[in-house]
A and B are shown apart, each in its own frame.
Chain A
Amino acid sequence: MTAILVARHLSKVVPSAEGALSILEDLSLTLESGDSLAIVGTSGSGKSTLLGLLAGLDLPSGGSVRLAGHSLSELDEDARARVRAEHVGFVFQSFQLLDSLDALENVMLPLELEGRADASSRARALLERVGLGARLRHYPRQLSGGEQQRVAIARAFAADPDILFADEPTGNLDTETGAHITDLLFELNRERGTTLVLVTHDERLARRCQRQLRLEGGRALVAEVLA
């Protein structure tokens, strides 16, 4: 197994009205390919900040992140975008589907960005897989929250990412729907051998990950490895 994600001594400090505010302090972790990691903690504990840093959406104030062999701090934003395009998939709490695209087109989008000729057939197959084969031509506003998140998951897996970042994927869903989404996420994760990093409040979801990272006040409390 090779390390796909290595973070060393990460810290993030942002300016605020009361002076510099530290939201993340000296955090290190290593993820092997195929691992799953849950980042848990209370609101404001720095979970989303950490996710942003690990995915290369933001740069740390100190420390380094190595993602799929690329040292993110040494890359400019455009180069980081290329790393994301090649290796990373995302699932968001608020789904982040494009309103003007229907379900199929939303899933096709990353494939089209890559210029793949089989975008349409692949996207169809993925939507079938997440159980939305009958709703290909529905716009996001015509879909329920759970359906929208399934489209988002199909989109995240469309480009065959090496690592998937999920930010509160069940946060906007009721318990039952959330459970279905969770199942789907882990099934696909297993099928495709994708590394999974997710931020969640949901203890049940967290427990399904191999490892948990509990944050409080920007520090790692416990890093547990579950069987």
Chain B
Amino acid sequence: MKGMPPARLFLLACRQLWRDARAGELHVLFLALLVAVAASTAIGYFSGRLSDAMQLRATEFLAADLVLQGTAPAEPGQLEAGRSAGLEHASVVEFSSVIATDQDMQLSSVKAVDDTYPLRGELRSADQPYGAETPGGRPGPGEAWAEARLFAALGLQVGDSIEVGRQPLRLTRVLTYEPDRVGDFYSLTPRVVINLADLPATGVIQPGSRVQYRELWRGTPESLASYRSAVEPDLQAHQRLETAKDGNRQIGGALARAERYLNLASLAAILLAGVAVALSATRFATRRLDASALLRCLGLSRHETLALYALQLGLLGLAASLAGVVLGWLAQHALFFLLKDLLAQEIPAGSAWPALAGIATGLVALAGFALPPLAALGRVPPLRVLRRDLLPVPASSWFVYGAALLALGLIMWRLSLDLKITAALLGGGLVATLVLGGLLLLALRGLRRALAGASLHWRLGTGQLLRHPLGAAGQSLAFGLILLAMALIALLRSELLDAWQEQLPDNAPNHFVLNVLPDERDAFAARVGQLATHAAPLYPVVPGRLVAINGEPVRQLVSKDSRGDRATRRDLSLTWSADLPNDNQLLAGRWWSDQPAGELPGVSVESELAESLALQLGDRLTFSVGGIDRETRVTSLREVNWDSFQPNFYMIFEPGTLQDIPATYMTSFYVPPGHERELIELARAFPSVTLLQVDALLAQLRGIIGQVSVAVEFVLLFVLAAGIAVLFAGLQATLDERIRQGALLRALGAGRSLLVRARRTEFALLGASSGVLAALGCELVSLLLYRFAFDLDWQPHPWLLVLPLVGALLVGSAGVLGTRRALEASPLGVLREA
């Protein structure tokens, strides 16, 4: 007989698989794979779609999905590209202009919008200053909507007429909210919205005027992407494309954090599933040692035997993966259905990517964890049919664990695309495994001596563990990993919610104040002090532009569209302060009070901007302030919490540096609801002051965070469910021996209750030691994650000490439940076994 034709081998593999499945041989492995694939698919879909939904919500802050922004009108070709991609379109033109009435005038920022604006979100307006707001609509031709502070500054009423350039317009409503206003509220003059049709008649826009043209687009991700690729290569120097992600730092921060969390949760689910697959694949292989020796006797070559089992596993993996994908897909649908009322908006359907990733996860996990034990099947000596003690030459354990780790790392990296998180998780897990495994072995040795005089069920229960200390250590590690993954996800969840809560405390400032004049400063502070429950200090503000670094013009140093580019194209708000602001953190250098005065005045630079401009401590910066160049030296770098609703600055100067230049002051404060009248009075008393309400933005942000928090809880449940399923799969792997042992003990006259007690002891002990391992491992991994991936402060988590108890209860009850069959084993069974 020549080697077996592949087709026959394949057919044989199918047939064997079918027979094994029918005989109930494959349930465990199939279940483990199913859980792995279903969990990673469901979480993949869920987090993907949720992030799309949040993205969608965040697009409100752009009033569109994508914005083409420039200081000159967009090219006709650029507009045509959008329309032919099937996108909805709106045009917005923004410029500064003096608004005049019969008596007075006020510099304002005017926004001319067409009849399709906004594409995402809505304008909101009131019929009285600080009156109740209603959503929807936009000014028609001949109309203007203005913010309450313009009404206050110019003494206007609704119905009055104002002039924008040469065009008289009637004020019809009070503007209270623009979706796309939030990005730049530091540099604002009162807003007036007019209809785009009135723009030519104003005559305001002349060659050379400073104007922002914004082309708003909305459509499917595919058509947006095709538009993007059509337009992006030929962008003019003055143009750029903006999406929701780069638009708003507060939202961006919340989204990025949620995304990282969801990714991590799916990594944990995969880790769990990996453990399950490893356990059940090993069982698959060991149960086939005899069969593969027999097949060799019957004339199959080593390669054919290997191929036969590889094919079986591959087919099984594929079947389980497909079923898992369907299950995961259904599960995430159910999840969204449950969240329907909370999410209250259209949720994009999601791509095929999570499904493919789910299948790949199943197959890669199977390959990584099942191939090493499978390879052992190929090495079974055929002589084993005569001598059962002959085991295959063991593979180097480095090879076995290396393959599994490689598979795990590959999946994690592919899913998170974050080397740091993967390395922290994998490295931490590995170190924890090695160290704790060693400790555990030592502890088991000690236990053996300590238990010599204990009662029977103790000795029986622990005897099971002590008989194979390595096996027990491995099992305890596996359960420990499960508890670790679940604890880690729970830990990060509360950390995440805390971070959000901190970002948006109930008394987060809901009003920003700009343009407080120096001689009104103290009076204003006193008024705000009476009105507001929480107020930030008043910071002086001087507009100035960074023009040179170490004598070289800065425009030559920055790369296009970088943070540095954006920050040096416009005036920055410069301030000085004797103290480091509360939520800023010094990363390098020293604050003024801790260092001798230098020849040049010092400046403290925000760290991300410093990185983008490649600034070092000691660099010489030249600012153009009020038309005069000023030299400073970088003396410190600061980390700024942009997520906080506090006045934040890129540049803080040493006190005394800018004091000769006229400055205005800014601050922020929190006023509880119900004080609208006092706010109007405040605005009237200080007509030059710009008062910005950010309630709407805060409410929106809270809404998003609320959604994500719910999602996070659900994902946690998912991971828990996966963990428990895996726990059972792990117990199944030890069932054969337990059934044999149970039968033997029954045959020797042991009662059922003794067996139950012994089992309870064994599993509770196993669970408790797993809990200790998990607590230690969780601290180690979280330390690495916080340090290297999340930039969070790490502190010990004392509550992890409950893990041994949780482990004992969970593993104890699951163990007794999962090995029920061993108790039912008939004593006769022992006679059947050779």
Residues of B within 8 A of A57 (CB): 297, 381-383, 385-386
Which of the 9-residue segments B19-27, B218-226, B350-358, B755-763 touches chain A? B19-27
Q: CB distance A113 to B297 under 8 Å?
A: no
Q: CB distance B301 to A82 under 8 Å?
A: yes
Residues of B within 8 A of A52 (CB): 383, 386-387
Q: CB distance B23 to A99 under 8 Å?
A: yes
Check: A48 CB closer than 8 A to any chain B CB: yes
Alpha-carbon distance A21/B1, docked complex (angstroms): 36
Least CB distance, B212 to chain A, in whole angstroms: 73
Contact of A98 among B5, B294, B297 (CB under 8 A): B294
Q: Please, which residue of chain B has its CB at the minimum distance from the CB of A79?
A: B301
Q: CB distance B834 to A172 under 8 Å?
A: yes
| Interfacial residues of chain A within 145-201, with CB under 8 A of chain B in the complex | 159, 167, 172
| Interfacial residues of chain A within 68-124, with CB under 8 A of chain B in the complex | 77-78, 81-86, 88, 90, 92, 94, 96, 98-102, 105, 109-110, 112-115
Residues of B within 8 A of A78 (CB): 3, 301-303
Alpha-carbon distance A114/B1, docked complex (angstroms): 8
The 8 A CB mask of B300-315 against A (1 = contact, 0 = none) is 1111000000000000
Least CB distance, A112 to chain B, in whole angstroms: 6
Q: Please, which residue of chain B has its CB at the minimum distance from the CB of A98?
A: B291
Check: A129 CB closer than 8 A to any chain B CB: no
The 8 A CB mask of B712-745 against A (1 = contact, 0 = none) is 0000000000000000000000000000000000
The 8 A CB mask of B375-386 against A (1 = contact, 0 = none) is 000000111011
Q: Please, which residue of chain B has its CB at the minimum distance from the CB of A56?
A: B382
Residues of B within 8 A of A77 (CB): 301-302, 382
Q: Please, which residue of chain A has its CB at the minimum distance from the CB of B382?
A: A57
Residues of B within 8 A of A98 (CB): 291, 294
Q: CB distance B23 to A85 under 8 Å?
A: no
Q: CB distance A100 to B297 under 8 Å?
A: no
Alpha-carbon distance A76/B506, docked complex (angstroms): 79
Residues of A within 8 A of B12 (CB): 112-113
Residues of B within 8 A of A81 (CB): 296, 299-302, 382
Give the number of residue pairs across the A-B interface with Cβ within 8 Å: 91
Least CB distance, A148 to chain B, in whole angstroms: 10
The 8 A CB mask of B10-41 against A (1 = contact, 0 = none) is 00100100011001010000000000000000
- The listed residue with most A CB atoms (<10 A of its CB), out of B293, B299, B300, is B299
Chain A: interface size category: 35 or more
Alpha-carbon distance A84/B294, docked complex (angstroms): 11
Contact of A115 among B5, B23, B295 (CB under 8 A): B5
Contact of A85 among B8, B20, B300, B303 (CB under 8 A): B300
Alpha-carbon distance A55/B293, docked complex (angstroms): 14
Q: CB distance B25 to A100 under 8 Å?
A: yes
Alpha-carbon distance A139/B20, docked complex (angstroms): 12
Check: B388 CB closer than 8 A to any chain A CB: yes
Q: Contacts A99-B23, A172-B834; is A84 near B301 (CB within 8 Å)?
A: no
Residues of A within 8 A of B290 (CB): 96
Residues of A within 8 A of B15 (CB): 112
Q: Contacts A85-B1, A113-B298; is A101 near B19 (CB within 8 Å)?
A: yes
Residues of A within 8 A of B388 (CB): 94
Check: B393 CB closer than 8 A to any chain A CB: no
Q: Contacts A57-B385, A100-B19; is A109 near B298 (CB within 8 Å)?
A: yes
Q: CB distance B23 to A101 under 8 Å?
A: yes
Check: A202 CB closer than 8 A to any chain B CB: no
Contact of A86 among B1, B303, B386 (CB under 8 A): B1
Q: Contacts A113-B12, A172-B834; is A92 near B385 (CB within 8 Å)?
A: yes
Check: B2 CB closer than 8 A to any chain A CB: yes
Residues of B within 8 A of A48 (CB): 386-387
Q: Please, which residue of chain A has its CB at the minimum distance from the CB of B17?
A: A100
Residues of A within 8 A of B802 (CB): none
Least CB distance, A7 to chain B, in whole angstroms: 17
Q: CB distance B832 to A141 under 8 Å?
A: yes
Alpha-carbon distance A84/B304, docked complex (angstroms): 14
Alpha-carbon distance A83/B19, docked complex (angstroms): 28
Residues of B within 8 A of A114 (CB): 1
Check: A51 CB closer than 8 A to any chain B CB: yes
Q: CB distance A139 to B23 under 8 Å?
A: yes
Q: CB distance B834 to A94 under 8 Å?
A: yes
Alpha-carbon distance A80/B563, docked complex (angstroms): 71
Q: Contacts A92-B386, A100-B25, A141-B832; is A84 near B302 (CB within 8 Å)?
A: no
Least CB distance, B550 to chain A, in whole angstroms: 73
Check: A58 CB closer than 8 A to any chain B CB: yes
Q: CB distance B385 to A82 under 8 Å?
A: no
- The listed residue with most A CB atoms (<10 A of its CB), out of B8, B295, B382, is B382
Q: CB distance A115 to B19 under 8 Å?
A: no
Least CB distance, B5 to chain A, in whole angstroms: 7
Alpha-carbon distance A92/B388, docked complex (angstroms): 11
| Interfacial residues of chain B within 264-308, with CB under 8 A of chain A in the complex | 287, 290-291, 293-303
Check: B430 CB closer than 8 A to any chain A CB: no
Check: B4 CB closer than 8 A to any chain A CB: yes
Alpha-carbon distance A51/B385, docked complex (angstroms): 11
Q: CB distance A82 to B2 under 8 Å?
A: yes
Alpha-carbon distance A167/B388, docked complex (angstroms): 13
Alpha-carbon distance A110/B1, docked complex (angstroms): 12
Least CB distance, A52 to chain B, in whole angstroms: 5
A77-B382, A101-B19 given. 14 additional CB < 8 A pairs?
A51-B386, A55-B297, A57-B381, A82-B3, A83-B299, A85-B299, A86-B299, A99-B287, A100-B23, A113-B298, A113-B299, A113-B300, A114-B1, A167-B385
Q: List 17 A-B contacts (CB under 8 A).
A: A52-B383, A57-B385, A58-B383, A77-B302, A78-B301, A78-B303, A81-B301, A84-B298, A90-B298, A100-B23, A100-B25, A110-B299, A112-B12, A113-B295, A113-B299, A167-B385, A172-B834
List the 10 closest pairs (A to B, CB-CB), nearest first: A85-B299, A78-B301, A100-B23, A100-B20, A57-B383, A100-B25, A84-B299, A115-B8, A57-B382, A81-B301
